Amino acid sequence: MLQTTEGVIILSIAGLFAISLIIQLFYYLFFYLRLAWGKVKINENVCEPVSVIICAREEADNLEKFLPLILEQDYPNFEVIVVNDCSEDHTEYVLKNLKLKYPHLKYTTIKKDEKFTHGKKLAQTIGIKSAIHEKLIFTDADCYPTNNQWLKNMAGSYQSKTEIILAYGGYEKASGLLNKFIRYDTFFIALQYFTFARAGIPYMGIGRNLSYLKSLFFKNKGFASHARLLSGDDDLFVNETANSKNTTIVLNADSITRSVPKKRFILWLRQKKRHRTTFTRYKSSHKILLATEPISRMFFYSSFIALLIFQFFPIFILAAFAIRLIIQLLTLYFATQRLQEKDLLLYSPIFDLLFIFTGFMIIFSGKLRNPYVWK
């Protein structure tokens, strides 16, 4: 009886292993491999005016360092709007000085009100309403384009039916495992939203590098449906408005922006917890697609270890594991090449496992200490 029960358990684990393996291969071969081919056609002769919108709170040093890289873009007609949101540092002074050199810089200031606490969406809405052009391009104060062709690539990616442009906003490279850990998380999220969009299922974008039409914003009534949430000025807006026909992705190296990453794990974890508050508002089909992959990955690794412990056809189990690993590395090789994150490839098998545990930490850890963190 004991042997029979043990056999049923082992066979059940083997079945779980087989199912999770199939699901994993499906995601890599059907979705993630889509980044290996296909080019986004850029209209290099584009000259339609665009408005760049940046919201900033206590970002004086970053604005002084990075804003000139945006203001000096090689593009014939654009304005840059900075919304100074209740900053108490020398942001106003920095913007005033930059305005003297760059007449296409515009800025407005939201005064601090102790009786009224607000998030980034208010600043974003003010920036959008201030824009005089139809095509809006968004980034953050701690972000910078990697060269002066960024605007040309973003604006040139618009096609006849395009209303939304999804682009990559990565983080600066630095020494240390934490830097690679944060960058891999950002890379893998981008891998998902890019390849899902290519499959006709766009579900999110990131505010560090995003573009959409001003008319689309007002047609959607702005952020009205999720105005009370801290996050969602980027991903929830895209989730509500994007479809297979109106969304384009841009993957050119010249379209990438970089940001300053968090220096401490706890700060990154809090940021992830805040971002996760928007997940529950995604469309049901998107939530299922996004949850299935990490759940199947968890079952894949746990059943793999269990079957090795039970010595259940170890050669076949190891071969199946190796097949998944080879496909994973091959897929991520093309993706890291596309997104200029080549050094992350060798770390991917380790992070692939570690992110299962960090996912649980984000889900089951307590509430945010400060629910009004702006960014």
pLDDT of residue 371: 45
Nearest to 250 by CA among 214, 217, 213, 209: 209
CATH of 50-264, one of 2.40.40.20, 3.90.1170.50, 3.40.710.10, 3.90.550.10: 3.90.550.10
The angle formed by the CA atoms of residues 186, 268 and 264, to the nearest 5 degrees, is 120
SS3 190: helix
| Cα distance between the two ends of the chain | 59
Percentages helix, strand, coil for the chain (3-state, rounded to 5) are 55, 10, 35
Under 8 Å between Cβ of 332 and 27: no
Domain coordinates of the chain in residue numbers?
Answer: 50-264
User: Does the CA dihedral 224-225-228-232 come out positive or negative?
Assistant: negative
User: Does the CA dihedral 307-313-318-321 come out positive or negative?
Assistant: negative
Across the chain, which has 375 residues, the per-10-residue mean pLDDT values are 75 96 98 86 82 95 96 96 90 95 94 75 94 97 96 94 96 94 96 97 96 97 87 91 96 94 85 81 94 96 96 96 98 96 96 87 59 51
